[in-house]
Amino acid sequence: MEYKISGGLASLKPSIIREILKNTGGSVIPFAAGNPAPDAFPVDDVREILGELMENNPVLALQYGVTEGYAPLIAELEKMCRDRYNVLSDSDSVIVTSGAQQVMSLLSHTLLNPGDTVICEEPAFIGALNCFRAFGAKLVGVPLEADGMNIEALENAFKSEPNAKFLYTIPNFQNPAGSTTSFEKRKAIYALAKKYGIIILEDNPYGETRVAGEDIPAIKTMDDCGLVVYSGSFSKIVAPGIRVGFVCANKELIAKMTVVKQTQDVHTPLTSQYIVYKWLHDYDYEAHIAKIRDIYRRKLNLMCDLIDEELGDYVEYVRPQGGLFVWCKLDDRFDMLTFVRKASEAGVSIVPGSAFLCDESKSTQYVRLNFSTPTDEGIVKGVKILGEVARNYR
Amino acid sequence: MEYKISGGLASLKPSIIREILKNTGGSVIPFAAGNPAPDAFPVDDVREILGELMENNPVLALQYGVTEGYAPLIAELEKMCRDRYNVLSDSDSVIVTSGAQQVMSLLSHTLLNPGDTVICEEPAFIGALNCFRAFGAKLVGVPLEADGMNIEALENAFKSEPNAKFLYTIPNFQNPAGSTTSFEKRKAIYALAKKYGIIILEDNPYGETRVAGEDIPAIKTMDDCGLVVYSGSFSKIVAPGIRVGFVCANKELIAKMTVVKQTQDVHTPLTSQYIVYKWLHDYDYEAHIAKIRDIYRRKLNLMCDLIDEELGDYVEYVRPQGGLFVWCKLDDRFDMLTFVRKASEAGVSIVPGSAFLCDESKSTQYVRLNFSTPTDEGIVKGVKILGEVARNYR
């Protein structure tokens, strides 16, 4: 039978990144992945929490819950949004989502008609781009600089796209670029979005992984008119396998997103929600974050120091202050896709930067390297191999 | 700020059922709900499985997984689809979903453009109707009879709706009607769908809850051209709170649905997937199903015997052979919505049948009663109260 696929899906091609990862065997050093370091997971805490849950409250874990989320978890998230991030206003509310990925899907479904525009940083997270594409959105990229989007280009995009429904941004340690948007630019972005009436989806999955520098207030802290949808995740704080995120936004938008969530998965599994609730409520958040930051600081600096040593003559990059990725620009002697292929043949998987463009067919000299998934030994070995690939190129 | 909501969502109103349940306090007898009976949950098994998982394989539980699902679970599901249900052909594959609700969302996103038609049984499951509405679908209802849809009306719908993308049906113990589609009608439905090239979404969340009569082969067993998308759920077999379902369909459709799933929640939580995998692999499926059926047989017959006694003069219904619901037609002396309101005031929540219509504003004499959520005492007390409401009506 010949299937008639919907407009959004028909045009969605399998991404380069999936093809690369498909061919990544067990012996390959995984610089292409984006998994948190397993030693950053609070394994003992989760074991204890699940044991306690199944001992004292198994029916809570197993029965249907409400779509908005487990009420005690929502209370913890509201406290966190208010006290820690200052992103919760009186006209906002919070719901639990099945990872921060679901926030993109819920907001897209709530706002996008086919052909509407989503303004994105360029490069941008591929999972977000594909989500917007699936809703038939036109993607318009705004060049990302070391301190955030080019503000002039952002205003041009807002001006020239009357059907722009929202702007998607990761202000902290962006995936893939690793960049952090400066406070000045955050203010400029908010002011422009307000001027043009464009919603901002502020995605902050990496905020707690800062290993250098000072925290910068979220764009949502400036929101005085329900313009900013703030999305958070526990994938890098607790663990990604449990799939727990949240969204803090104006109540009217949250009500619509809740209806969409009900049509997608009814609610996020109670076991997952209870893990995060109990962990936030009873365990030492600060101590765990400090531990995670130590792990990522070590791995980030290990990789960057080695890049300086092995690839200093061949690539440019800005050392990120957090996140999981280093975004390297190969110099012009290299054909980027050929370099990626040679690296793969030599046993190191990396992601071609084109995967993160609104138009994947455009050319770029960038590649993305991940330092959280490989072991320390893997990082050392992998960057050395990349150095050899560069030295032996052509 | 005034939000511009997408076409599908703007027209989606909060349903009557949500409003009723919102006003349902703790002292109300919950005939309006649809929760499985908590004593049907394999609590000890799940406790053991989670303990073993966190002891032996915590990183599996906590790290990212692949979108298609945990491979050993997929293998179990394929075995089940092949050997138990006979719904898996060589051109099909199976993925894990976040409940059967997600199958509706994934298929809708894969196939529907705004304005496309979905053919539904009438009445139909409200969670499905709202999902299709959220994609801007036009809903066309086909009257449901005691042995399944009216076949003539189904053919008329197929004929008159050139943009019909799929037919949604629950052939076993339908929600809300409790009806089971006969084998003859299943054959007729498949033949017509094939003739008109319309995909069938065969949703089977209740199949294992049969308490009387003989199993009837799924429509999917007849599928020789990739026309049927078969959806299953562990909400009534294991537990709903873990949110695990699956879909078995042609590989081409599954590939598209997998891309959509990646944009929605990346993957179903590993803890939930592992519970179902291990339970299917190591525990006594047949014994547990037999236990569940005993519970539901007792509760179903308790409710129906009492309806006969207390409401026999006022309602008509067909005793279902499984599922969780009794679908009662009030006789003409009652205004249905007034009866529902009086029942609620007397302490029993029931769902007005209009909630399950493609057009909720149409009138109907039906109400839906659930027997799985209330205790046995609640069933006795609740039906007696409904009897009093009927006797004292006006």
Query: Chain B residues with CB inside 8 Å of A54's CB?
Result: 43, 46-47, 50-51
Cα separation of A343 and B280, whole Å? 42
> Average pLDDT, whole number, for chain B?
95
Cα separation of A352 and A365, whole Å? 8
Query: Chain B residues with CB inside 8 Å of A260's CB?
Result: 9, 134
Q: Which of B274, B240, B222 is nearest to B96 (CA)?
A: B274
pLDDT exceeds cutoff 90 at B361: no
pTM for this model (two decimals) = 0.97
As given in the structure block, the two tokens for residue B152 are: 């003539």
Cα separation of A142 and B151, whole Å? 55
- Which residue in the set A65, A130, A250 is minimally distant from B263, CB to CB? A130
ipTM of predicted complex: 0.97
Q: A365 and A328 in contact (C-beta within 8 Å)? A: no
The CATH code of domain B43-282 reads 3.40.640.10
Cα separation of A168 and A129, whole Å? 9
The predicted-structure confidence for B240-282, as pLDDT tens digits, reads as follows 999 999 999 999 999 999 999 999 999 999 999 999 999 999 9
Cα separation of B281 and B74, whole Å? 11
Phi and psi based region of residue A98 (left: phi greater than 0; alpha: psi -120 to 50; beta: remaining): beta
CB pairs under 8 A between A and B: 241
Residue position matching structure tokens 């952002």 = A154
State which residue of chain B sits closest to A36, comparing Cα positions: B63
The predicted-structure confidence for B29-41, as pLDDT tens digits, reads as follows 999 988 999 999 9
The reported pLDDT for the residue numbered A313 is 96
The amino acid at B256: K
Q: CA angle, corner A213, sides to A191 and A312, nearest 5? A: 105
Q: What mean pLDDT comes out for the span B72-89?
A: 98
Q: Using the beta-carbon criterion (under 8 Å), do A54 and B50 form an inter-chain contact? A: yes
State which residue of chain A sits closest to B7, comparing Cα positions: A113
State which residue of chain A sits closest to B103, comparing Cα positions: A264
Q: Is B230 helix (H, G, I), strand (E, B) or coil?
A: strand
Q: Using the beta-carbon criterion (under 8 Å), do B112 and A6 form an inter-chain contact? A: yes
Task: Please report the DSSP string for A225-272 in residue order.
Answer: SS-EEEEEESTTTT-STT--EEEEEEHHHHHHHHHHHHHHTSS--HHH
The predicted-structure confidence for B112-135, as pLDDT tens digits, reads as follows 999 999 999 999 999 999 999 999
The amino acid at A386: L
Contacts of A138 (CB under 8 A, 6+ apart): A115, A116, A117, A118, A161, A163
Q: Which of A141, A128, A169, A140 is nearest to A15 (CA)?
A: A128
Quick one: CA dihedral B304, B307, B312, B314, positive or negative?
A: negative
**Phi, psi values for residue B292, rounded to 5°:** -60, -45
The reported pLDDT for the residue numbered B33 is 87
Q: A119 and A217 in contact (C-beta within 8 Å)? A: no
Q: How far is A149 from chain B (nearest CA, A)?
A: 24
Query: Chain B residues with CB inside 8 Å of A250's CB?
Result: 1, 3
Q: Is B393 helix (H, G, I), strand (E, B) or coil?
A: coil
State which residue of chain B sits closest to A196, comparing Cα positions: B1
The reported pLDDT for the residue numbered B191 is 98
As given in the structure block, the two tokens for residue B352 are: 């007005």
Q: What mean pLDDT comes out for the span B161-170?
A: 98
Q: Which of A261, A368, A277, A390 is nearest to A324 (CA)?
A: A368
Band of residue B12 on the pLDDT scale cut at 50, 70, 90: confident
Q: Using the beta-carbon criterion (under 8 Å), do A263 and B43 form an inter-chain contact? A: no
Name the stretches of chain A with pLDDT < 50.
none
Number of CB atoms found within 10 A of residue A79's CB: 14
Q: How far is CA B106 from the centre of its chain?
A: 16
Number of H helices, E strands in chain A: 14, 14
As given in the structure block, the two tokens for residue B119 are: 């053919």
The CATH code of domain B7-42+287-391 reads 3.90.1150.10
Q: Using the beta-carbon criterion (under 8 Å), do B9 and A256 form an inter-chain contact? A: yes
First-to-last alpha carbon distance for chain B, in angstroms, is 47
Number of CB atoms found within 10 A of residue A381's CB: 16
Cα separation of B226 and B77, whole Å? 18
Cα separation of A253 and B28, whole Å? 31
- Which residue in the set B9, B243, B267 is minimally distant from A109, CB to CB? B9
- Give the Å distances, CA to CA, from A242 to A362, B268, B273, B338: 35, 8, 10, 45
CA atoms within 13 A on the CB side of B215: 12
Q: CA angle, corner B356, sides to B350 and B362, nearest 5? A: 105
Band of residue B25 on the pLDDT scale cut at 50, 70, 90: low
Q: Using the beta-carbon criterion (under 8 Å), do A241 and B62 form an inter-chain contact? A: yes
In DSSP terms, which residues pair with B328 in a beta bridge?
Answer: B367
Quick one: CA dihedral A115, A120, A123, A128, positive or negative?
A: negative
In DSSP terms, which residues pair with A246 in a beta bridge?
Answer: A96, A232
Cα separation of A131 and A129, whole Å? 5
Q: A186 and A169 in contact (C-beta within 8 Å)? A: no
The reported pLDDT for the residue numbered A25 is 62
The reported pLDDT for the residue numbered A21 is 63
Cβ contacts of A313-317, under 8 Å, gap ≥ 24: A313/A390, A314/A390, A315/A390, A317/A178
Contacts of B291 (CB under 8 A, 6+ apart): B40
Q: How far is B199 from chain A (nearest CA, A)?
A: 9
pLDDT exceeds cutoff 80 at B166: yes
CATH superfamily, domain at A7-41+287-391: Aspartate Aminotransferase, domain 1 (3.90.1150.10)
- Which residue in the set B46, B101, B264 is minimally distant from A102, CB to CB? B264
The predicted-structure confidence for A73-112, as pLDDT tens digits, reads as follows 999 999 999 999 999 999 999 999 999 999 999 999 999 9
Query: Chain A residues with CB inside 8 Å of B165's CB?
Result: 4
What string of H, E and C letters represents the secondary structure of A14-77? CCHHHHHHHCCCCCCEECCCCCCCHHHCCHHHHHHHHHHHHHHCHHHHHCCCCCCCCHHHHHHH
- Give the Å distances, CA to CA, from A234 to A79, A209, B270: 15, 11, 15
Domain ranges of chain B: 7-42+287-391, 43-282
State which residue of chain A sits closest to B193, comparing Cα positions: A1
The amino acid at B243: R
Query: Chain B residues with CB inside 8 Å of A324's CB?
Result: none
**Phi, psi values for residue A141, rounded to 5°:** -95, 140
- Measured N-to-C along each axis, helices B183-196 and B151-160 cross at an angle, to the nearest 10 degrees, of 10
* pLDDT above 90 coverage of chain B, percent: 94
Q: Using the beta-carbon criterion (under 8 Å), do A62 and B269 form an inter-chain contact? A: no
Q: How far is B336 from chain A (nearest CA, A)?
A: 26
- Which residue in the set B58, B243, B256 is minimally distant from A265, CB to CB? B243
Q: How far is A169 from chain B (nearest CA, A)?
A: 17
Q: Is B354 helix (H, G, I), strand (E, B) or coil?
A: helix
The reported pLDDT for the residue numbered A17 is 63
Q: What mean pLDDT comes out for the span B286-295?
A: 97
Residue from A102, A256, A271 whose CB has the most chain B CBs within 10 Å, to mutate = A271
Quick one: CA dihedral B58, B60, B61, B64, positive or negative?
A: positive
User: What DSSP element (H or E) covers B142?
Assistant: strand B138-145
Cα separation of B235 and B238, whole Å? 6
Return the biggest CA–CA distance within chain A: 64
Band of residue B92 on the pLDDT scale cut at 50, 70, 90: very high
